[in-house]
Structure 1
């Protein structure tokens, strides 16, 4: 175990992360509404922690093995979630308890979007911006950014990439070099964020709110700079911009990479040459996961809108149309933005939307949940078993596109689903043990394990009424969801620690 190498990387990345505390500090002094001291103090403390961990181990440069990769990924999220809580915990007029600070930080960094805060509109701009920024950093995964700079530090990054990237086919890379892959992911992520912010601004948001909501939209996080979330804006154009970019962010980013023109490097006769790839928008329509994602989203929109219209929940059918479309996409992609309280909707709609969040976005996207590709493979495997019952001597395969998948991939999906179901039951029982009723406990488990945010019952809008033990259970559940269960669970197996 390369303990000192791990400490060196963690220390350096904590020091880099501390720089992200400076923009909120600058906003505090620009708006002069508080928070500046807390963020400057947090910056100094975080930088000191990072340097103290890094300096004694600065000369340790050894290649990471798979085991170290998993440890760094888990430790990185745990450590950064803890360091990210420092500004919330610093003693000032807006300080939170230690548990609440940790909850808010982990919820932001894992892009869950659950909150214990009320009166967000009255918070200083620094705190409001910081919550949004944390979600943006966690959206694609700070580890992916770390992978892009690890080669510069003398550390290979493929183990971190495999541990961090979501989905059952995460071993495939968009480019031959892992550092280039990570950089391309961040270029795409940054480009979509800028486009989203400009669209919000053009639709009527202030620059501060446009950037903040772009951060949480592209991260599919759901935090807002207002208590009323997107309902603060009585503007259908803003709502539809949010829907559009949530759908874009829910798509596998490898598809975005393949679909648009880009410059890439290749080695010819020992020399690096640059060339352009034309890309093709047909890449989207050829991808089975993309087609399934859009099919699920549009079917859900249709059911929600038709139910609201038929029940005459809104006086004007256009309100049912816009609220129905927005809420369906927001909950199903695990963003958690709201334009109104969906838990007051009629019939089965609140539960339907929560169940839709179990599917979530595509693999390789910023969405949570099981991922569309896993649900598709579960369906196809189930269909194969039915076909085998009808034709016992037949030979059936599970295909993805035109290719038959190895049984190892299908088995991994079933293993993930079984582990997810068992973990869901355990976490739900733990929530009940802390005092939540069964309906609220189900909603809290779905909200945290799927990185959704809003739940049902007591946790429909926030987690303020949840006990401190319940909040720590929620933090653990968020980590399991963000790290796709196995990355965290593998650390608890004896075999992992054996040589």
Structure 2
């Protein structure tokens, strides 16, 4: 293990991340909210830590192997989440302790969107902007950004990229060079963010809210500047804009690149993709089901209001954003549980959404159907095809392995939460919300996580990391074989 090279890379990445403290400091000056000093102090501390990691190892430039790539990603997310908590601990508002600040920071960076803070309407603008910014950076993964920048400093990026990007197939690159791939992803990400912010602004948000909520929307994070979340604006137009950009952000970003390439715009690219078709069908079915149940129970005065609420809440929860226009927990029958279960599917691979991913659910379903056919025709040969291509058994095995690991981690986290004294509904939904990077849950965590015990918060932080790094990236570090030479 090339530890000196690892320290050098971590140092460079921390130095890069320290610059994220500066925009909130500027916001504090512009809005005169008095929290600028906290961000300046956090910048100095994080920059110093980065230099301490980097400078003694600045000449160590060994080539990264897969093992080092996994370790760098896990270490960086852990260090980044810890450093990201500094401004929240140093500021006078919200004046969080270590546990709550770490929870809030990791929740933002992993785009989980669970919060321990109440009274968001009265928080300093700098803190609100910082929470949005952390989600935006975590959405695409700051590692991918770093891969686009750090090759200039002598750091190869393929190992980092493969460990960071979500999905079962991680070797597909949109461009020949990995740095160019990362840049292409970020150009798409930035363009969508700007378009979303403009749409929010034209729909009636002020510039601060438009930018902040665009950050959280494109990252599929769910943080808002208000306790009422999107319900604060009480605008069907804003709700619809949010839905559109959540759906776009939950689609594989490589498809956006293909559809809007230099050869022209080709929207048929989306429908030709089997995963996107399945994703849109599932979204439509969920919205229709929620709408019909709300109408049959006469929850709202008009079909238009019911459709607005059903569309927004179904898409928000199923894409793992976690925005709300009202408390879906109060909805009738099985709707709250249904929406929580929809987050297990999540978005498409290669998107900013969480969950197991649509392509994995699709492949698992196809494999189940194939096994049923084999029972009827034991000697027949059946292949699984996706986008008119045969899917190799190695990929199917990897998907089953992921599902098994996901199930195991889910059970362990839920049992651990129950052991802290949490009730079963709260424990189940909190586990789902952390592993799927969803945010809101049921029971005691329906509105916020501030009232649960500290031990449970640390367990959920671990769950957020497992979910953001897609289980295996973190789980592999717990195997003895990983540490053997």
TM-score, structure 2 normalization: 0.99
* Separation in structure 2 between the aligned mates of residue 33 and residue 92 of structure 1, nearest angstrom: 11
Tell me what 2:48 maps to. Answer: 48
- Alignment partner of 1:233 is 2:219: no
* Separation in structure 1 between the aligned mates of residue 392 and residue 350 of structure 2, nearest angstrom: 20
Runs of 4+ in structure 1 displaced over 3 angstroms? Answer: none
* Separation in structure 1 between the aligned mates of residue 434 and residue 313 of structure 2, nearest angstrom: 18
Range with greater deviation from structure 2 (303-312 or 25-34): 25-34
2:375 is matched with which residue: 373, 389, 394?
A: 389
List alignment gaps of at least 5 residues for structure 1: 263-276
- Alignment partner of 1:330 is 2:316: yes
1:289-368 maps to which residues of 2 (within 5 A)?
289-368=275-354
Tell me what 1:24 maps to. Answer: 24
- Alignment partner of 1:278 is 2:267: no
- Alignment partner of 1:200 is 2:200: yes
* Separation in structure 2 between the aligned mates of residue 393 and residue 53 of structure 1, nearest angstrom: 60
* Separation in structure 1 between the aligned mates of residue 319 and residue 221 of structure 2, nearest angstrom: 10
1:13-412 maps to which residues of 2 (within 5 A)?
13-90=13-90, 92-262=92-262, 277-412=263-398
Range with greater deviation from structure 2 (278-287 or 324-333): 278-287
Task: Give the aligned CA root-mean-square deviation in angstroms.
Answer: 0.8
* Separation in structure 1 between the aligned mates of residue 429 and residue 264 of structure 2, nearest angstrom: 45
* Separation in structure 2 between the aligned mates of residue 354 and residue 106 of structure 1, nearest angstrom: 21
Tell me what 1:425 maps to. Answer: 411
The Cα of 1:93 is off from its aligned counterpart by 4.4
The Cα of 1:33 is off from its aligned counterpart by 1.6
Range with greater deviation from structure 2 (73-82 or 308-317): 308-317
Question: Which secondary structure does the structure 1 equivalent of 2:301 belong to?
Answer: coil
The Cα of 1:54 is off from its aligned counterpart by 0.8
1:456 is matched with which residue: 427, 433, 442?
A: 442
CA deviation string 1:294-314 (max 9, x = no partner): 000011000001110111011
TM-score, structure 1 normalization: 0.96
CA deviation string 1:55-85 (max 9, x = no partner): 1111111211111000000001000000000
* Separation in structure 1 between the aligned mates of residue 223 and residue 421 of structure 2, nearest angstrom: 26
The Cα of 1:34 is off from its aligned counterpart by 2.4
CA deviation string 1:136-188 (max 9, x = no partner): 00000001011112321112111111111111111111111101100000000
The Cα of 1:91 is off from its aligned counterpart by 5.3
Change (3 A) 1:68 1:398: same
List alignment gaps of at least 5 residues for structure 2: none
Tell me what 1:268 maps to. Answer: none
Tell me what 1:8 maps to. Answer: 8
The Cα of 1:423 is off from its aligned counterpart by 1.0
* Separation in structure 1 between the aligned mates of residue 68 and residue 451 of structure 2, nearest angstrom: 38
Q: When the two structures are aligned, how many residues end up with a matched partner?
A: 485
